[in-house]
Amino acid sequence: MERTFSQRVYDVVRRIPEGRVATYGQVAALAGAPRSARFVGFALHSNPEPGVIPCHRVVFRDGSLAPGFAFGGPERQRALLEEEGVVFIPPSDGKPCGADGWKVDLDRCQWRE
C-alpha cells in the first residue's frame, strides 16, 4: 500500500538527527513533493507522535521558527532546539524573525542528507 503524504513527511522528519534542522521545503522534496512545503506544516501540526517525530527540527527556509508551532509555540521550539545544540543568530536587519527575532544558523545546523 502506498504511504500518504503525511506518512512520508513523518518518515523524513524522523531521520533529522539531533542538533540539526531541515526546512519545510527540504522535507517536502525528500517526501517526494517538492512544491508542498505548506502541506508539510499541516502534517506536522497533526503530529501523531510528538517527541518521537521531532517536528521541532523543521524551520522556515530562512531559519526562522513558525509562530504556530503546535507543541508550545516558537519559544518552546527554540528551547528544544537549543537543548540539542542548535545555534541561533540574531537578526541582522533589525526586523524580527522567528522567536524573539532570532533564527537558526542554517550554515552550521542544516541537515544535509
Pick the closest to residue 64 from 34, 24, 27 (CA basis).
24
Give catalytic residue positions: 55
Rounded to 5 degrees, what angle do the CA atoms 39, 113, 64 make? 50
> Alpha-carbon distance 74 to 101, whole Å?
11
